[in-house]
Amino acid sequence: MTVTLTRPGAPAQITRVNDSATMVRVDGLTKRFPVRRGWMETIRHPVARQHATALAGVTFTVERSEFFGLLGENGAGKTTLFKILASLIVPDAGTVTVNGLDVVKDSARVRGLLAPVIADERSLNWRLSARENLRLFAALHNLHGAAGEQRVNELMEITGIADTGSKMVGQFSSGMKQRLLIARALLSRPSVLLLDEPTRSLDPLGARRFREFLRDEIVARQRCTVLIATHRAEEALELCDRIAILDRGVVRAVGTPTELASRIVGERYYLWTLAPSHPALACLAAQGTVTNVVTGERDEDGWTRVQLEIPGGPRTASDVIAALAAEHMPIASFERVRLPLAELIERIVANRGTVMADA
Amino acid sequence: MHKIFALVRASWLVGASYRMAIITSFGSLIVTVVPVFYIARALQPMMGKVVQGQGGDFFGFVLVGMVAFMFIGIAVGTLPGIISGSVSSGTLEAYLTTPSSLPTVLAGLMSYDFLWSFARAVVLVITGAILGAHIAWGKSLLAIGILALIVLSYLPFGILGASLMLWFRTTGPLPKAVIGLSGFLGGVYYPTHVIPSWLHSVSSAIPLTYGLRALRRVMLEGKPLSAVAPDLGILMLFIVGLCALSVLAFSRALHDAKRTGSLAQY
């Protein structure tokens, strides 16, 4: 038996970034760090050097006012990348520009444009109040007198820490400290905000509120370009316009979660049928038109849920439905489901041999 | 200056939040200076002649030595301490992400310690004067200037210590060696001419020897600038040479720290 599709599936098109709208450009970024060796190894080979690669030819771009996520496991290179962007670490090779300014050659001007929230809460002055912490950094950002005071008041209102009074930061909750770190980063009205795992110390409710704050205030009102490094897939899915999957210092994929899902694993669907072992479905699976077919639960009326993936996008999916219907397979429902981002990342990381970056 | 003032203000607010530390900081001065007064008075018959060229009053001699020694401790130890603490806490990284230059940030962070020491030194000198030390108050400005030169001649050791801290996460024995040698051979508690002759060459290689001699002659004898100009000239040579060396070392250490990413390795 042969099932023929009316139209062959076309590969998903990835939207390329318009160069004129590019805020951050990372091109061929490479960074290696020396590895500390043991005493015996050092005595045996005193001159030899060992290096660990943190970033290997990382390339991507971020548009103005875009919410861009960097996802990857611990040690993937996210923090190193952020520190290079913040001109705290010098890269070995490659270039990084922020609004056209090179982060190495124009580091002082870049620091005026970009605000990192990469230091943890210990970088706050715990013996000072939130206001005094902000006053100090306002001065370091050249905001003096009434202008500085006004900005401090404004940010304390925005971030919801205005009522903390003279309470020392050491007595704040993690969520409050996180808000203060954000307020501190926003003092200079940055064009680009770097957030390194901003919700790691927050409880689920606090994390949700914080994400709402980022979406509504930072992006919608302040129009910041935001790069967020996280290993929380749901966070990236909720906030990010596009994501990059970073794995062992290499960008494995860049795109919207939907794009990546369709490029890498195709679309996932649930099919409710009375005949989960229908030959038409088996044939499509054998042809590779549908993949990862998993027969699931069967309800009391005899309908079985079959999970399947269809590479090639929605058109191929509609052709699959038509082909199954033509073969009289009893189908009650055929619904598209979103592939969990965590599973997507897992698949991309598992498929290390293929680099899928589009930038 | 705004930035330095903001950093000093923040340091003061932090310092002021430790009230007991403030009280003990000044209380310890009184506890220290009173026994020194009685010991110096007991030794005056023997030491009076020895310190004849620097005021003749042994208590005044030791008092000025204590003030200068307090400042060299700050000059040598503060910067490595700031680097160590701020790297560990992540505050250095936070400061470096602002448009402020590192020298400005470090100057601001150090200034508080120097101002605090200055306040302690004033209390120390006034207490000494109350106890009977003869101070030439009319030469206070010149004395402060000489004290500033002493600090500048020791600050390079602090910068070298900070460089070592960036490279190796430890200053090694450098601060203790510098402070210890200066204390024993720089004329803090006795004039340098009483130390054994074979140690004179070491003593003459210590900036404090010249700075302290000039400071005592101004503070205790009321000598004018011209009288201490040769000592200050040598002190200036130390400052120029050591500053050049230490700034080079620190630039290199900072570059290496940025290359190896160790600026914020806790």
* Per-residue pLDDT tens digits for B248-262: 999 999 888 888 877
The answer to whether the CB atoms of A140 and B100 lie below 8 A apart is: yes
pLDDT above 70 covers what percent of chain A? Answer: 89
The answer to whether the CB atoms of B261 and A184 lie below 8 A apart is: no
Pick the range with the lowest mean pLDDT from A162-166, A204-208, A227-231, B20-24.
A204-208
Indicate if the pLDDT at residue A227 is higher than 90: yes
pLDDT at position A353, please? 53
The strand pair at A22-34 and A93-98 is best described as antiparallel
Indicate if the pLDDT at residue A154 is higher than 50: yes
pLDDT band, very low/low/confident/very high, at A1 (cuts 50, 70, 90): very low
Average pLDDT over residues A118-128: 80
The strand pair at A114-117 and A192-196 is best described as parallel
pLDDT at position A26, please? 93
Average pLDDT over residues B54-61: 86
The answer to whether the CB atoms of B260 and A144 lie below 8 A apart is: no
pLDDT at position A12, please? 33
The residue ranking higher by pLDDT, B194 or B211, is B211
- By Cβ distance, the residue of B5, B90, B97 closest to A86 is B97
Give the A:B interface size as CB pairs under 8 Å: 92
pLDDT digits (tens, 9 = 90+) for A262-299: 676 667 888 899 888 889 888 988 988 888 888 888 88
pLDDT at position A14, please? 34
pLDDT band, very low/low/confident/very high, at B264 (cuts 50, 70, 90): low
- By Cβ distance, the residue of B9, B91, B97 closest to A116 is B97
Structure tokens at A65: 């006012």
pLDDT at position A310, please? 84
pLDDT digits (tens, 9 = 90+) for B144-172: 999 999 999 999 999 999 999 988 888 88
Average pLDDT over residues B96-123: 90
The rounded mean pLDDT for chain A is 82
pLDDT band, very low/low/confident/very high, at A9 (cuts 50, 70, 90): very low
Helix (H), strand (E), coil (C) string for chain A: CCCCCCCCCCCCCCCCCCHHHEEEEEEEEEEEEECCCCHHHHHHCCCCCCEEEEEEEEEEEEECCCEEEEECCCCCCHHHHHHHHCCCCCCCEEEEEECCEECCCCHHHHHHHEEEECCCHHHCCCCCEHHHHHHHHHHHCCCCHHHHHHHHHHHHHHCCCHHHCCCEHHHCCHHHHHHHHHHHHHCCCCCEEEEECCCCCCCHHHHHHHHHHHHHHHHHHCCCEEEEEECCHHHHHHHCCEEEEEECCEEEEEECHHHHHHHHCCEEEEEEECCCCCHHHHHHHHHCCCEEEEEEEECCCCCEEEEEEECCHHHHHHHHHHHHHHCCCCEEEEEEECCCHHHHHHHHHHCCCCCECCC
The answer to whether the CB atoms of A123 and B94 lie below 8 A apart is: yes
Indicate if the pLDDT at residue B53 is higher than 50: yes
Inter-CA distances, A88 with A57, A79, B70, B93, B192, Å: 19, 11, 35, 7, 47
pLDDT digits (tens, 9 = 90+) for B221-242: 889 999 999 999 999 999 999 9
pLDDT at position B7, please? 93
pLDDT at position B265, please? 60
The residue among B162, B66, B179 whose CA lies nearest residue B110 is B162
State the Cα–Cα distance between residues B176 and B84, nearest whole angstrom. Answer: 16
pLDDT at position A234, please? 75
pLDDT at position A304, please? 92
Average pLDDT over residues A230-248: 83
Cβ–Cβ under 8 Å, residues A82 and A62: no
Orientation angle between helical segments B58-89 and B140-168, nearest 10 degrees: 40
The residue ranking higher by pLDDT, A315 or A137, is A137
Partners of B260 on chain A (C-beta within 8 Å) are 33-34
- Taking the CA of residue A95 as centre, how many other CA atoms within 13 Å lie in the half-sphere pointing to its CB? 9
Average pLDDT over residues B123-150: 92
pLDDT at position A264, please? 67
Structure tokens at A112: 């005026």
Partners of A29 on chain B (C-beta within 8 Å) are none
pLDDT band, very low/low/confident/very high, at A3 (cuts 50, 70, 90): very low
pTM: 0.77
The rounded mean pLDDT for chain B is 89
Orientation angle between helical segments B174-185 and B207-221, nearest 10 degrees: 50
Annotate A279-291 with b (16+ C-beta within 10 A) or e (fewer). ebbebbeeeebbe
pLDDT digits (tens, 9 = 90+) for B31-48: 888 899 999 889 888 888
Partners of A249 on chain B (C-beta within 8 Å) are none
State the Cα–Cα distance between residues B84 and B99, nearest whole angstrom. Answer: 22
pLDDT at position A4, please? 41
Structure tokens at A261: 């899902």
pLDDT at position A266, please? 64
Inter-CA distances, B142 with A290, B125, B145, B214, B231, Å: 90, 15, 5, 10, 14
Average pLDDT over residues A352-358: 48
Residues sharing a CB contact under 8 Å with residue B69, sequence separation 6 or more, in sequence order: B182, B183, B188, B208
The answer to whether the CB atoms of A86 and B10 lie below 8 A apart is: no
pLDDT digits (tens, 9 = 90+) for A157-214: 888 888 887 889 888 888 888 888 888 888 888 889 998 887 776 777 777 877 888 8
pLDDT at position A2, please? 40
Best B1, B98, B112, B266 residue to mutate vs chain A (most A CBs within 10 Å)? B98
Partners of A50 on chain B (C-beta within 8 Å) are none
DSSP-assigned letter for residue B204: T
- Residue-range domains of chain A with CATH: 2-255 (3.40.50.300), 267-341 (3.30.70.100)
pLDDT at position A118, please? 67
Structure tokens at B117: 């020491």
